[in-house]
Homo-oligomer: A and B are copies of this chain.
């Protein structure tokens, strides 16, 4: 393991933290003046909060990485280091930089829904291109159970690139749709990145030659540092909002380390709440069940608590798929349900945030975020349990 380079990265990350924490307040007025701001709907005083501050921490992260690549390249060359790893490193950074640019453009221009799928695909292009030329290893190892039929491994060819592109699209949007209350976007990113970091260190201790995990650390440490600085201002009560920029930036960082670190399956284990939230949202996202423009919880200024937000429809208007989904959710008690004699149904919007409120009743915003981050943390524990003890059932150690 290359302790010295990791120390350099830790030092640069510390600088990123202090720089970001120092400059964010100064940019608040500038963002408001540029009309980048939004009303915090879950507060009594409907004050305007600057939005898209993610671009600032994104830039701080980039500058930190620029200094790091200099040191890194210098240190590695002294050891007769192969340039092809460095090429991968640079393309990963290029993907992240491009994603911050496109995310900020999305925040400013308020792009359409379909762009949300296109932008991460564009940004992941350089990485996929170089992966294609550098490795083009599209072989996946099969779990033990299916080996008698399929064999030890399977070359899925072009599908592998589709999978990697989809990973980028998923990671970016998964964070973007589990959002909307103070601190949630940054909080979950902090939990996920800490989990990845822990995983990388465990892997490095088991095999000190696993350079791909060191690579991942070089990206995740400054990311975590910049996010912690942002957390200071974004936690309840938010003094800044992070915007799509941050969600894209975070998601892309996770996707690239998953890809260049060759641990995309493990990465997805850290996204259990996001995956659940996505699956839970599917009926509304694909319009099997009516979906209002905003699915944020409803704020009650009297009690200062969040309540579920609801959608209303007539039972007869649901299609076949909608009925099936609703039936499943009802069976598992995942939704609220109130039905009038004429068939008009009121149910909560299908988001993880609303689900917490369905299960717990009206809850304070700060507590809601804490619960969700607690869930994320528990899922990380589950993820490590799946990854380590259970994985040996399916794969060789």
- Contact residues of A with B, CB < 8 Å? 27, 30-31, 33-36, 55, 59, 62-63, 66-67, 69-70, 73-74, 77, 82-84, 86-87, 90-91, 93-94, 97-98, 100-102, 104-105, 108-111, 122, 125-126, 129-130, 132-134
Q: Please name all residues of chain B whose beta carbon is closer than 8 Å to the beta carbon of A122 when the two chains form the complex.
A: 59, 63, 66
On whether A63 and B93 interact (CB within 8 A), knowing A30-B109, A130-B69, the answer reads: no
Tell me if A63 and B125 are in contact (CB < 8 A).
yes
Q: How far is the CA of A31 from the CA of B125 in the complex (A)?
A: 26
Separation in Å of the A35 CB from the closest CB of chain B?
5
> Closest CB of chain B to A128's CB: distance in Å?
8
Q: Which of A87, A102, A108 has the most CB of B within 10 A?
A: A108
Complex: A35 Cα to B110 Cα, angstroms: 11
- Beyond A77-B133, A86-B87, A87-B87, 9 additional pairs, beta carbon < 8 A: A30-B111, A66-B125, A66-B126, A70-B125, A73-B129, A73-B130, A83-B87, A90-B91, A101-B104
Bound form: Cα–Cα A65–B117 in Å: 20
User: Which of chain B's residues have a CB closer than 8 A to the CB of A27?
Assistant: 109
> Does the CB pair A133–B66 fall under 8 Å?
no
Q: What are 12 inter-chain pairs, A to B, with CB distance below 8 A?
A: A31-B109, A36-B108, A55-B101, A59-B101, A59-B122, A63-B125, A66-B122, A66-B129, A73-B134, A83-B87, A93-B126, A97-B97
Query: A133 CA to B69 CA in the complex, in Å?
Result: 10
- Taking a contact as CB atoms closer than 8 A, the residue among B86, B109, B111 that contacts A83 in the complex is B86
How far does the alpha carbon of A122 sit from the alpha carbon of B62 in the complex, in Å?
A: 9
Chain B residues within an 8 Å CB radius of A134? 73
Which residues does chain B contribute within 8 Å of A33, judged by CB atoms?
Answer: 110
A69 in contact with B129 given A31-B109, A97-B94 (CB within 8 Å): yes
Closest chain B CB from A278 CB (angstroms):
27
- Tell me, in angstroms, the Cα distance from A69 to B100 when the chains sit together: 20
Which residues of chain B come closer than 8 Å to A111, judged between CB atoms?
A: 30
Known: A105-B55, A108-B108. A129 touches B67 (CB 8 A): yes
Contacts of A74 in B (CB 8 A): 132-133
Chain A contact residues: over half helix, strand or loop, or mixed? Answer: helix
Task: List B contacts of A90 (CB < 8 A).
Answer: 87, 90-91, 94
Instruction: Name, among A33, A35, A63, A101, the residue most crowded by chain B CB atoms within 10 Å (CB to CB).
Output: A101
Asked whether A110 lies within 8 Å of B63 as measured between CB atoms, the reply is no
Query: Known: A87-B86, A87-B90, A129-B70. Contact between A62 and B98, CB under 8 A?
Result: yes
Contacts of A63 in B (CB 8 A): 122, 125
Query: With the chains together, A55 CA to B111 CA distance in Å?
Result: 14
Q: Within the assembled complex, what's the spacing in Å between the Cα atoms of A66 and B124?
A: 9
Q: A62-B98, A63-B122, A90-B91 are in contact. Are A70 and B109 (CB under 8 A)?
A: no
Which of B59, B73, B82 makes the CB contact (< 8 A) with A105?
A: B59
**Which single residue of chain B is at the shortest CB-CB distance from A73?**
B133
A58 to chain B, nearest CB (A): 8
Closest to A91 in B: B90
Please give the distance in Å from A123's CB to the nearest CB on chain B: 9
| Complex contacts, A97 vs chain B, CB 8 Å | 94, 97-98, 101
Which residue on B lies nearest to A84, using beta carbons?
Answer: B83
Shortest C-beta distance, A240 to chain B (Å), equals 14
CA distance A74 to B91 in the complex (A): 15
How far is it, in angstroms, between the C-alpha of A86 and the C-alpha of B132 when the chains are bound?
15
